[in-house]
Amino acid sequence: MAMKNRLTFAVLGVLTLGLASGCSSVWQESYQPYAAAPSLPSGEAAVVREIPWERMEAALREQEELLASTDVHWQEWDEDQRRDANTKLLKALQITEDPERVHLIGVSSFRTTDSVKPWDGDLASFAHKKGAHYAIWANRYMGKAETIVTRTVWSDSNDYISYEDGGGTNRRASRQRSSSADVPIVVEKDETGFTAFFLRVD
């Protein structure tokens, strides 16, 4: 498949596959590769940019409308159709590079109730490793989601012991003990969806 086809293919993936569950390294765990590329040189940093989710959603819907408006399957589109679709998507992502030079490396799309900070360096590091010059991301609030968390529950109990004192008299005494157990609890948390496009400029 020609490289210029892959931007459209990635949009199809985001539209049809939805969001995957995130794990500890969410960008890597949800990553869908579309092209292999060498890592960026050590002195060259990947650019991480946020765009409003409304803009990314509009771009995805525009691509979906392009796919639905023609009787020709996108894999059979001519060069002009592919170029038009790619140009519109890159414009929505606010990429001003020549569309003929921009290649898609991959896409990450996931939802999570954990705190994700795309600016903390993890996204930039992952983009650099994958050889992407740009990581363009957006997020949106998904509502409440049930998740399981572990809570430590403490309980007190009394033990009774019998003993013989120094005078030979049997006596009885109580002793308090505290114990803990980790208990899974279902709670509701805010859920956020993230989508990031990884782009390389050649």
| Spatial separation of the C-alpha atoms in residues 120 and 95, rounded to whole Å | 22
Q: Does the structure show a pLDDT above 80 at 22?
A: no
pLDDT of 136 reads: 95
| Spatial separation of the C-alpha atoms in residues 2 and 56, rounded to whole Å | 24
DSSP state of 166: T
Instruction: Find, among 30, 9, 11, 27, the residue nearest to 19 by Cα.
Output: 30
Q: At how many degrees (to 10) do helices 79-92 and 53-68 cross?
A: 160
Q: Which two tokens stand for residue 171?
A: 């006596």
pLDDT of 40 reads: 92
Question: What mean pLDDT value characterizes the chain?
Answer: 80
pLDDT of 52 reads: 93
pLDDT of 46 reads: 94
Q: Which two tokens stand for residue 140?
A: 């949106």
What percentage of the chain reaches a pLDDT higher than 90?
26
Q: Which two tokens stand for residue 182?
A: 């980790």
Tell me if residue 93 falls in helix, strand or coil: coil
- What's the distance, CA 153 to chain centroid? 32
Helix residue ranges, H only, 18-99: 26-29, 53-68, 79-92
Give the position of tokens 């009394």: 158
Could you tell me the residue ranges of all domains in the chain?
3-143+190-201, 148-185
- What's the whole-number mean pLDDT along residues 115-140? 93
pLDDT digits (tens, 9 = 90+) for 50-86: 999 988 888 778 878 888 888 888 778 888 887 888 8
Q: Does the structure show a pLDDT above 50 at 17?
A: no
pLDDT of 104 reads: 82
Q: 125 - beta bridge partners?
A: none
pLDDT of 21 reads: 45
Choice among 20-24, 48-52, 175-179 with the minimum mean pLDDT: 20-24
Q: Which two tokens stand for residue 17?
A: 């596959």
